[in-house]
């Protein structure tokens, strides 16, 4: 028996919104510590890892480990029926055929209920080791979105270069080239605007902007984003879910070799 | 040889239905346990009994007819084929005489039938009796040897070294069945002599010691098979296992001569019937087999035909009377190079049959060419159909999946991922935690 009650349906909606354009179907692995998800895109060059801790729910109950295989576009359709401020309750049996969503309006007595049929999804689970990254950049998530959007007008890929001066995003395309550089910045009044760079070695890697833009769908989840880079390993784009209730992490393989 | 057609069960069974010609046709209901008809050996002594022994081939309990003087008989059920239902009318010679006398004297009052002579019980068949099923049990002589084989070479010690043992020691290993027969001295003597036929013997002090020998058994069986051949195979077996097996497909001959491709597919439908003869002891009499015209030629050398007859007889003996593990042992012994029995060297036969097989294969190939209109798809490719359906289903599923994929996911597919490694090259597969 799984029963998870979320005060703000918005949080779950945004998570699903952020993932649904990357993967089609995926398993929500539920156990007593919370709900987790790991999935790759069709090309297997990007990976999304999501965790909603049990503390994010009130209450959270999961008697047995179950995997809820859900088609994300179906889930999106159902979640559209929920308002941001609704109380969302997720329910499933121990060996479920369906997962049940209940949306309760906070200010009126409206209750809506939906069942989504589950599917069997064969997914390989990858073990992701803890990595010491050469460079970790923390910046406002909106800033990251803006850079990606602006540079995608120039080219399909972006080179992220981390030095002790700052982090430089540069693109080289048919119409010309463009670059955005962010230096370390501390705003006491608005800590959200801080840019923090911790560097152990300079790193320069190239990534697909289309994928990065895709990751930016999670911008609404968190005011800041953390980019972790090391040469020859995937970029980690980490959105922390409010007050340490979980995370949404994206990994993207760097482009190696031919620069175009 | 047949002495009596007296039912063993008649005494036990309720009154059999009598069909007297006088009374109007008021048939009594058929009895539940009708009398059975036995043909028993004339020479059998009064002490002969029907006994239950384990069948040497299947080790299931079977009935046998045992006479202390003349040996053991198996009861072979002779039945009419199911397609030709038959009944048997049993009368006695005496009854017929009586009837004839009646007619002669003109006293046709059948109701005053003479009471039968004292020697015949009242519920006998003198007035005629119709059995519904035409089953007949014929006691045919059988070699005690076969009952000894499961004892001499049990399955468990198949590969073990056999020991020289006395007759009594051997018989001690037998678990029931045959043991009570040992109490009869004549039978015990007979058993020992039969054991000697398939064992290496060693004289020690007063007693003889026996050790089972495959070579001796094979020789004995080969002699038996030759005895069968001396009288010729039964026509139905000859037809099914020899003539059909050696039939040359007509088509291939024609084709070699003229290259004409008009064929008669029915001529080619004879498959190899080399499967082993059924091991049951009931033989259905099929008289159609006897009259089948010899439609196609057997152009095999006499030697090959005789070999096939030999093999058929040998195979029949093996499958009817030998336990399965011994059959294997004997076939292995025969096919090994050390096989000393010339009659059981089937190599020329095998080569000939292989040749025939290839001819048939050719004929079949040609046939499928000539009438491919009606035979576009063979009956035996169910698996292929299944595989195709599976493939189709998968394809449809994939298609459906594609359709349900959101636009963004589709767009992401178009992204140039050249130079990007797969995630699995960075992260190793995790052990699925349960």
- Encode pLDDT of A175-188 as tens digits: 999 999 999 988 88
- By C-alpha distance, the chain B residue nearest A22 is B409
**Has residue A89 got a pLDDT over 50?**
yes
Give contacts of B 342-401 with A, CB under 8 A: 401
Q: What is the ipTM of this complex?
A: 0.78
Instruction: For residues B52-65, give the mean pLDDT.
Output: 82
**Has residue B294 got a pLDDT over 80?**
no
Which pLDDT score is estimated for B412? 83
Backbone dihedral region for residue B248 (phi beyond 0: left; psi -120 to 50: alpha; all else: beta): beta
Query: What are the strands, taking DSSP E only, across B61-172?
Result: 61-67, 71-79, 88-90, 129-131, 136-142, 165-166
Instruction: For residues B215-235, give the mean pLDDT.
Output: 85
- By C-alpha distance, the chain A residue nearest B434 is A65
Which pLDDT score is estimated for B297? 55
Which pLDDT score is estimated for B145? 83
**Has residue A132 got a pLDDT over 60?**
yes
Which pair of structure tokens corresponds to residue A258? 């031919």
Which pLDDT score is estimated for B291? 39
Q: How many CB pairs under 8 A join A and B?
A: 99
Q: What is the 3-state secondary structure (H, E, C) of A124-142?
A: CCEECCCCCCCEEEEEEHH
Chain B residues close to A125, C-beta within 8 Å: 429-430, 432
The set of residues, in sequence order, having a beta carbon less than 8 Å from that of B159 and lying 6+ positions away, is none
CA distance A110 to chain B (A): 30
Per-residue pLDDT band for A152 (boundaries 50, 70, 90) equals very high
DSSP codes joined into one string, B260-275: -----GGGG-PPP--S
Integer angstrom CA distances of residue A10 from A79, A80, A82, A145, A212: 9, 10, 8, 20, 23
Report whether B81 contacts B286 (CB < 8 A): yes
Residues in chain A: 260
Burial class (CB in 10 A: 0-12, 13-18, 19+), B268: buried
Report whether A29 contacts A70 (CB < 8 A): no
**Has residue B279 got a pLDDT over 50?**
no
Instruction: For residues B138-152, give the mean pLDDT.
Output: 83
Which pair of structure tokens corresponds to residue B398? 């994939």
Element housing B173 (H / E): helix B167-173
**Has residue B289 got a pLDDT over 60?**
no
Chain B residues close to A255, C-beta within 8 Å: 418-420
Chain A residues close to B415, C-beta within 8 Å: 43, 156, 208, 210-211
Report percent pLDDT > 70 for chain B: 64
**Has residue B137 got a pLDDT over 90?**
no
pLDDT digits (tens, 9 = 90+) for A19-38: 999 998 899 999 999 999 99
The mean pLDDT of chain A is: 90
Element housing A49 (H / E): strand A46-53
Q: Which of B18, B27, B214 is nearest to B116 (CA)?
A: B18
Per-residue pLDDT band for B325 (boundaries 50, 70, 90) equals confident
Reduced to 3 states (helix: H, G, I; strand: E, B; else coil), residue B26 is coil
Instruction: For residues A117-134, give the mean pLDDT.
Output: 87
Which pair of structure tokens corresponds to residue B190? 């007979």
pLDDT digits (tens, 9 = 90+) for B395-429: 888 887 777 677 778 888 888 888 888 888 888 87
DSSP codes joined into one string, B356-369: HHHHHHHHHHHHHH
Which pLDDT score is estimated for B187? 82
Distance between CA atoms of residues A82 and A112, nearest Å: 8
Strand B282-284 versus strand B71-79 pairing type: parallel
């Amino acid at each position: 028996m799984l029963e998870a009650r979320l005060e703000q349906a918005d949080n779950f909606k945004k998570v699903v919104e952020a993932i649904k354009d990357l993967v089609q179907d995926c398993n929500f692995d539920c156990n007593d510590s919370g709900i987790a998800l790991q999935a790759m895109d069709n090309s297997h060059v990007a990976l999304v890892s999501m965790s909603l801790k049990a503390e994010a729910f009130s209450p959270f109950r999961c008697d047995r480990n179950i995997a809820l295989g859900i088609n994300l576009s179906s889930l999106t359709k159902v979640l559209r029926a929920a308002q941001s401020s609704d109380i969302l309750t997720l329910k499933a049996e121990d060996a479920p055929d369906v997962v049940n969503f209940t949306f309760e309006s906070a200010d009126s007595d409206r209750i809506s209920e939906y069942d989504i049929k589950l599917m069997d999804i064969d997914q390989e689970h990858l073990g992701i080791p803890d990595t010491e990254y050469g460079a970790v950049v923390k910046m406002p998530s909106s800033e990251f979105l803006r850079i990606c959007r602006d540079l995608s007008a120039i080219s399909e890929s972006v080179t992220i270069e981390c030095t002790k001066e700052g982090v430089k995003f540069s693109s080289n395309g048919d119409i010309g080239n463009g670059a955005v550089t962010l230096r370390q910045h501390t705003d006491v009044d608005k800590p959200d605007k801080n840019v923090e760079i911790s560097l152990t070695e300079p790193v320069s890697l190239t990534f697909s902007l289309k994928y990065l833009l895709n990751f930016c769908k999670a911008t609404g989840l968190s005011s800041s984003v953390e980019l972790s880079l090391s040469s020859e390993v995937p970029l980690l784009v980490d959105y922390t879910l409010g007050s340490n209730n979980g995370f949404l992490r994206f990994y993207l393989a760097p482009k190696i070799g031919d620069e175009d | 040889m047949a002495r009596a057609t007296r039912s063993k069960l008649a005494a036990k069974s309720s009154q059999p239905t009598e069909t007297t010609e006088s009374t109007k046709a008021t048939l009594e209901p058929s009895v539940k346990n009708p009398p059975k008809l036995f043909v028993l050996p004339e020479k059998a002594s009064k002490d002969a009994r029907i006994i239950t022994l384990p069948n040497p081939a299947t080790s299931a309990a079977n009935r046998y007819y045992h006479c202390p003087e003349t040996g053991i008989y198996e009861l072979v059920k002779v039945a009419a084929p199911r397609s030709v239902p038959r009944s048997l009318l049993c009368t006695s010679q005496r009854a017929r005489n009586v009837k004839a006398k009646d007619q002669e004297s003109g006293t046709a009052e059948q109701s005053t039938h003479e009471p039968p002579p004292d020697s015949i019980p009242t519920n006998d068949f003198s007035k005629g009796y119709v059995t519904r099923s035409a089953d007949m049990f014929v006691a045919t002589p059988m070699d005690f040897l076969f009952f000894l084989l499961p004892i001499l070479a049990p399955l468990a010690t198949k590969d073990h070294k056999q020991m020289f043992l006395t007759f009594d020691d051997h018989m001690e290993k037998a678990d029931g069945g045959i043991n009570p027969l040992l109490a009869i001295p004549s039978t015990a003597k007979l058993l020992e002599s039969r054991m000697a036929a398939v064992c290496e013997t060693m004289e020690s002090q007063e007693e003889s010691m026996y050790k089972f020998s495959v070579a001796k058994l094979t020789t004995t069986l080969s002699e038996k098979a030759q005895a069968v051949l001396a009288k010729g195979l039964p026509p139905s077996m000859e037809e099914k296992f020899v003539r059909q097996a050696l039939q040359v497909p007509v088509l291939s001959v024609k084709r070699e001569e003229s290259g004409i491709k008009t064929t008669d597919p029915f001529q080619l439908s004879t498959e190899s019937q080399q499967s082993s003869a059924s091991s049951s002891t009931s033989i259905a009499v099929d008289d159609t087999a006897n009259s089948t015209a010899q439609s196609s030629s057997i152009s095999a050398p006499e030697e090959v035909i005789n070999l096939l007859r030999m093999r058929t007889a040998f195979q029949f003996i093996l499958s009817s009377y030998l336990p399965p593990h011994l059959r294997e042992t004997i076939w292995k012994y025969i096919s090994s190079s050390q096989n000393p029995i010339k009659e059981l060297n089937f190599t020329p036969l095998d080569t000939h049959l292989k040749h025939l097989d290839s001819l048939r294969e050719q004929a079949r190939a040609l046939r499928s060419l000539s009438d491919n209109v009606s035979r576009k798809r063979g009956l035996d490719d169910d698996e292929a159909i299944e595989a195709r359906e599976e493939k189709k289903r998968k394809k449809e599923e994939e298609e459906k999946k594609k359709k349900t994929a959101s636009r963004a996911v589709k767009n992401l597919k178009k992204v140039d991922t050249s130079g990007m490694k797969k995630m699995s090259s960075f992260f190793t597969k995790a052990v699925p935690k349960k």
